[in-house]
Structure 1
Amino acid sequence: MAAFQPAPTMAQAWQCQPPRFLPRPALELPPSGQVRRTAIDGYVLALSWSPEYCRGRISDPSARFQCSGEIGDFGFVLHGLWPEAKGANYPQYCRAVGVLPRRSVSDNICLSPSPQLLQHQWAKHGSCMAATPDAYFAAARLLFEAIEFPDMARLSREPERGTRLTAVTLAERFADLNDGLPAYAITVQTNSKGWLQEVRICLGKDFKPRQCPAFTRRALAAAQIKIWRGR
């Protein structure tokens, strides 16, 4: 199966400008009993729909960079690149890691616009995949930047025009735009009211799209979804 073709750099955050000063995140230690060093069988690239995440969080200090508009307005952002196992017991917190350097935060804040989220992803997932944060985030960035995204504003209006928008429809729109990315390698997550939260892409050990495992959480293919366009 063909790999993704490169797309314009940071297509979902082209206007993002890292601030001159960024706080360093807090050290994250694994919760008791949460260290798992299971073998890696694949990966998930999790893409968060920022307008939905930011609904009601515009004034939340912990969501400042993602939701206030201070460094840009975001569409999809990288939630994380996660290693998977053969079952639901995915590896996590494989080794102790320190606080991310300021440079690592600055280099990746337009990819995942939260210093603490970057720290969390490195501690929980990156520690099982790469020797350094630079290597981990470089792999995540390469995969993220290879994706061409649908026109989400247009998609969000389809139900208003009488067109049924379902989880499988959204997966198919992604597949149509990306050579080598079949709809069966894409899952959609919604909240309890049917609003889009995330799109996740299932990858094999070679980082190429694969059929999502049966244990993967997802909205039902025929489930109707809604897309929040933001403020």
Structure 2
Amino acid sequence: MAIFSHAWRLFACLGVGLLSIPAAADTPGEFDFYVLSLSWSPTYCKQEGNNASPHQCDVRDPFRFIVHGLWPQYERGYPASCQGVRQRIDRQIAVDMEDIMPSHGLVFHQWRKHGTCSGLEPEDYFDLTRAAYEKINIPGAFETLDKRGKASPETVEKAFRLANPGLKPDGMAVTCSRGEFEEIRICLTKDLEFRACEGVDRSGCRQDSMSVPPPRSR
């Protein structure tokens, strides 16, 4: 106890609180699983309006689900913006991802914040992102939706479970924004197998019903 009191007084004299001591930096490649976040593009385009990415929203064939990101996760929390890894990536990577990540700014941001913590080279990280996206079967209702609808988070989760055998209720979360369906987040092992993730599951939308905007028509 005396030693602890002495240490506390020392920190106080130095003007440093114990809680202000920085945590150890996140280490690239050291994490527990991935979250694949798929955004419902019509919600983004509607809510952002004139501020939305024109490459995503002002297109002849509107996007439906796009990849928001593939995020390394801890069982609690997640690493972010890992250091000791190159931050800038070749623009050609963003060009190659346009069909599932139509905003170049999104691609660059996802690499800096999440990809740098994957332990992978940029090309390999985005190849894995594409493989994760291609693993998921999108429920048919979302492929054909052409007018505004309503759904509960549970209904959306059920549709994804039925379309993806092995995907469990505690292995995903539906998010909402301003009363509208925003994203579905699916938990995957490093080998892209479905897995449980209680922390992610608990973070889902709490509303009984969400509006589901249709793709924007030109």
- TM-score with structure 1 setting the length: 0.73
Residue 170 of structure 1 aligns to a residue whose secondary structure is helix
* 1:149 maps onto 2:138 in alignment: yes
* 1:194 maps onto 2:185 in alignment: no
Q: Distance in 2 between matches of 1:93 and 1:34?
A: 13
Q: Distance in 2 between matches of 1:34 and 1:48?
A: 32
Match of 1:40 among 7, 16, 31: 31
Q: Distance in 1 between matches of 2:98 and 2:186?
A: 21
Q: Distance in 2 between matches of 1:157 and 1:166?
A: 14
Structure-1 residue corresponding to 2:194:
209
Q: How many residues align?
A: 190
CA contact (8 A) 1:59 1:68 kept: no
CA contact (8 A) 1:35 1:92 kept: no
- Counterpart amino acid of 1:169? T
- Counterpart amino acid of 2:205? A
Structure-2 residue corresponding to 1:94:
82
* 1:112 maps onto 2:101 in alignment: yes
Q: Deviations over 1:162-210 (max 9, x none)?
A: xxx311111010110112222331210001x321000000123442111
CA contact (8 A) 1:35 1:93 kept: no
Q: CA RMSD in A?
A: 2.6
Of structures 1 and 2, the one scoring higher in RCO (CA 8 A, sep 6+) is: 1
Residue 189 of structure 1 aligns to a residue whose secondary structure is strand
Residue 226 of structure 1 aligns to a residue whose secondary structure is strand
Please, which moves more after superposition, 49-58 or 120-129?
A: 49-58
Per the TM alignment, residue 56 of structure 1 is displaced from its structure 2 partner at its CA by 4.7
User: Any stretches of 5+ residues in structure 2 without a counterpart?
Assistant: 1-22
- TM-score with structure 2 setting the length: 0.77
CA contact (8 A) 1:40 1:205 kept: no
Per the TM alignment, residue 226 of structure 1 is displaced from its structure 2 partner at its CA by 1.5
Higher-Rg structure is 2
User: Moved runs in structure 1, 4+ residues, more than 4 A?
Assistant: 153-159
Residue 55 of structure 1 aligns to a residue whose secondary structure is helix
CA contact (8 A) 2:137 2:163 kept: yes
When you count helix as a share of all residues, which structure comes out higher? 2
CA contact (8 A) 2:79 2:114 kept: yes
Structure-2 residue corresponding to 1:64:
54
> Relative to 1, partners in 2 of residues 1:63 and 1:158: Cα closer, same or farther, differing over 3 Å?
closer
